[in-house]
Structure 1
Amino acid sequence: MARGAQRQNGARTRTRGRPRQDNDGIIPVLARTVREVESEVQRGRVLPSIRTKFQVVGLLMREERARVKADEAQSVTRRAEELKRLDGIATILATTAARDTSLLGLLADDAAISDHARSLRRELLRAAGMQVPEEPARTREPAEPTAAEQRQVVPRSVVSRRLANPFLEPDYSAAAKLAVKPRRLAGWELIDPLLKSFEGGGELSCKDLPEPVTTRGAGGLELMPHQGRLVAAAAAGHRTFLLADEPGLGKTAQALLAAQAAGAYPLLVVVPNVVKMNWAREATLWTPRHPATVVHGDGETIDGFADIIIVNYEVLDRHVGWLGELGLRGMVVDEAHYIKNPKSQRSRNVLQLSERIRTRTANPLLMALTGTPLVNDIEDFTAIWQFLGWVDETKPVGELMAALEELGLTPADRGFSAAARAAVIDRGIVRRRKVDVATDLPSRRVSDVPVEIDDEAGRSIRAAEQSLAGRLLARYERVLQARTAGGVVEGVDHVLVRQVAAWERANKTTKKSEDNVFTMMRRIGQAKASPAADYAAQLARSAGKVVFFAKHIDVMDTAEATLAKRGIRYASIRGDQTASVRQKHIDAFTNDPDVAVVVCSLTAAGVGINLQVASNLVLAELSWTHAEQTQAIDRVHRIGQDEPVTAWRIIAAQTLDTRIAELIDNKAGLAARALDGADQEISDSSDVHIEALVTLLEGALEERISRQAS
């Protein structure tokens, strides 16, 4: 048998008849082909056909190298000569890939091999004089759905929306408009120089923004000047923003109003679970004419016709299918540093949706919101830039690529770094610090952060509220039945409601197994402990030191365990500490830059200490009086504080917590109007207790009346 034994994979044999020459076989064919690839890449013409040639040459070179090493029939000299020639081909491949690093992925073990690549492989083997058996026709079986695809759902209300508008057509004009062929920068590695241009520091990275067109949002709320400038930029036509303002500068409002200015509806908002309900609340306040819906679980309760769809990262994988087909005209990603790892599932979901929007919609609004765009290193920028459509996996694209070409510089030229950095910033990086816009901010403010308690703890809390409401209702009905004079009040007897609430507040004989208003609030505090600590950890990473306040020891214990799990160092101020231990913890928080959070008892640390090294605090549990809350905030907001202070009050949505927060705020608002800020009202905490009980009883009565009417 001629020296044409079966080659690797049993796919080819050598033609019989003539001795092997240096210009015979596969090596000369590979050498000619790789030179063609090298020449095209040098000219910046990395077409799909060139990428296929690069991949096939690489694969055949590997096969030939393995065959030569295993061919013991050849002399040692001959094998060495052929391996040397193959090394030359490998060198050309390497230098070519250095010009366009995306080519390297084609040689990965898991790289897909297209039908075109298989066909080209057979052509090159035949050109080398090899006999290549025809591949049998392959029947393509339906691919098994992946685990992620199996989890995907389509809510019924979304089906209704599709049926209401079945002729929604994508707009592909954006893709053609943004296609930019590199000229001067063809073949240059650009992502790394762009990232490094931000390492040197310099001026604050903030795009020039126009003066605000209006100082009010659609909901009638007053805008701060820095907020109005970003909204004005969106109104003027800018459509991509990395909004990196420090926490507390109103990024949520800016995003909602920018979407309204751009007409970017339907708008998708992807957020951490802890702030999902807060986004819905802010949307109601700032853009009340555009209904918002929140996706929970499989989304069966959403409004499929809403303008704003709010979904958390954890359930996004179930909804990427229908969201990609909805005709979205805008997308906001809150806490965008969550997608810093482009290989994570949540990042892939976000990037998949972003790409689909950009290819199907002309000029979509894309906004990445984060006070901490960089968590680990400068590479954290890349996934965010990719979401915004400024870069793809290997190079700048669209308007950014065009702007870099217009510079007339390459990474080897002096001045490229500063000019490239400015070009990236001009694409829409907006960064403002509290100290720079302090005149635009109130000196102190309280911002509510609603969280959902929807696990076993949430069910237990709602059951306990129903039980307490049922006990109040039973007492109310007993009193009505016992009345013999004074007549009967139609509907709800609000005077009696307050009497029942007062009796319950004063009742000292409630069974230990029954919940009262105090145990209810403690249950809610326990359920909020972990998400509140998560929020404190997020603030610590983005804005520096954070003060965490709680009323109960078990809430503090849970918070500290959560912070430890997140790798956050903390100090602790409790009522059972000696004075020296307490001061040691205060000093650690004040002086040690690595101690990011201090977990404080509201009663033990609410007065008498100075924690002004921080400008952010988290109120994990509600106070019963506005004065107690203010005392806690004043541990941070005091003489010597250089930065505006924000108190983040964690509220358990759809529980008694929400009503109590409103009651505390109403007390403060009344005092401010009545006394013009000269004095503070010292609210009686029993008033809040009674009002909370009134809320429960009136809700139970209204529900009963509604059932009777139906």
Structure 2
Amino acid sequence: MARRAPRRSQNGRSQRRVRDLDNEGIIPVLARAVREVENAAQRGPVSGSGRTKFQVVALLVREERARLKADTESTESQRAEQLKRLDGIATILAKTGTRDTSLLQLLAEDAEIGADARALRREMMERAGLEVPDEPAPARRSGPDGLEGTEHRRVTPASVVSRRLSNPFLKPDFTGVPLQARPRRLAGWELLGPLFRSFEYGGASACMPLPEPDSLRAPGTATLMKHQAQVIEAAASGHRTFLLADEPGLGKTAQALLAAQAADAYPLLVVVPNVVKTNWAREAERWTPGHPVTVVHGDGDDINGFADIVVVNYEILDRHVGWLGELGFQGMVVDEAHFIKNKTSQRSQHVLHLSEKIRARGGRPLLMALTGTPLINDIEDFRAIWQFLGWIDDVAPLGPLAECLDELGLNPADGPQFYGAARTCVVNQGIVRRRKVDVAADIPARRVADLPVELDDALGRSIKAAEADLAKRMVSRYHTALETRISGRTVEGIDHELVRRVAGWELEDSSGSADGENVFSMVRRIGQAKAGLAADYAAQLARNVGKVVFFAKHVDVMDTAERLFHERGIQYSSIRGDQTPGVRQKNIDAFVEDPDVEIAVCSLMAAGVGLNLQVASNLVLAELSWTDAEQTQAIDRIHRIGQDEPVTAWRVIAAHTIDTRIAELIDSKAGLAAVALDGSDEEVGSSGDVQLEALVSLLTSALEAEEKAQVGRRRKRSVIAR
């Protein structure tokens, strides 16, 4: 790391600049940055900018440590002090990495350092007053795909080259329906907003008409359920775009693979989360054994370029998007399609680019988006999925959807009549949504049973004290706002509108700062405090009812549980986000197949999707999520086709803390899918709603207690006066 040359005195000797080591140089810059990343990790998976910051801090810590060790001008005590401070930053990096284990891959020696990381590194060095060494600009490519990336990042496996050479004439197919048709009668109307809003009004269950299947037979001895066979029959009959949004556990993987076979949509591209890549290959071999499957790992050196089914994960799509776009796929399946809801993310852009390339060749490609939770926080989560399917572009409906809207004879000014008809037009493009209660009556019932626990140790007491301090801080803020506001109506008693505003300010401050106690840090500490109690209950369950799945959000909670199981001689499998696909599958197989492995310890983020663990019928939720969707995804790992026993999810809740409020709020708010897809009229809530409402509840309770105490004091003074 280059530094500015030290100033020299007139006699030529080096003259050290006296500086405040706590506030100058690179270390304070790194300390501030690492705290920002740590705070982001407390709220959930770290975003793209946070990941870049994490990587750059680690890189600069490594460089500064090497510089300090080679420094001959500083005293031994100065070097020791600076190295100690670097160790503190490295410790925070390590703790943050355990909260979001996907960050750890950024620390590898061969980890890619992108343009954003290089720019941030330069910015942080300049902020610290360091000279930034010149570095050659990386070769950039912006080919016909319109996606920019470093030249060495894109790869083309040798076997893919061989496939191209064996069939160099990949002709376009002009038999398909042109998707670029725009609505004629409705030209000039903004239609995407009304289309999204049409799902906010609810209505009947959102499922396109499906044909009756001719057969329920599947390869080998397997038998399909009727709802699965209906989708396959629809594909065989010519339907080519599906948003398959069946509730988790209804066998979407099998439906997609057999629909591709029925449509002869080969070669087929399947884009999935890394954690389910191996499982998709297994399912393909099971359901469509006549079609070779290959899985892309790393640079794809060992793939079979002639396979019918190519499985690739989102995380490495950037380096393979070039050759994937040119291979001539006739079908594309995107699993856990809600992963692409953020259209600004790189993975979303790559998925949409590949879909566009496949559709541009013409023909009638099969496009399937699979997700049991298509809507997480907003109706507009539909946008990227609809665009992947070719129903819309950035500004308007396309193709058959545009034609359907034209034929309605209505426009958005017609209000509810238009919304209902427009919703039907969208649904008939290929939305398929079935609930377990409706189509899988043979799947046993499930229930969520709350297990209150008392946090009566030192950690529990400190959590309750911190919660009281948080409430006190908000009460003070409320009174200050009440005394200083110059507009707005005055109300008797508690001003609930102001309460919500104060809670919103607190939430905003909590999201942007790692200092002090806030709702995120408290929930995390509650999870740590519950860890041993939740693990103890899981151990008791395993001894009494058989196999148990244990879910936690944070690595340290998983570590605590695994230590307890080890001490008690209980065999367990660990399923985490930082495992290789091979290790992960080995641990899954051990839990499913080995009768001696009693507990699966699972990361909520890494194992909440794509796992079939119905060998167990009991599940322990050691930590609460911010949304009902995350909780449901975890439960559906065991409540799915193949389960033959009633399922119980034991939710461990810290009594007399904010944990209880959060559990009540999650239960009171249905998922968006219930309103938009299932015909429910229940209240919609998002993770942000739950966080805000938890603070509103905490502040309201504190104000009510304050008001009650004031009434008591007034009564006491009145009695004394008499």
TM-score, normalising length: structure 2: 0.46
TM-score, normalising length: structure 1: 0.46
Higher radius of gyration, 1 or 2: 1
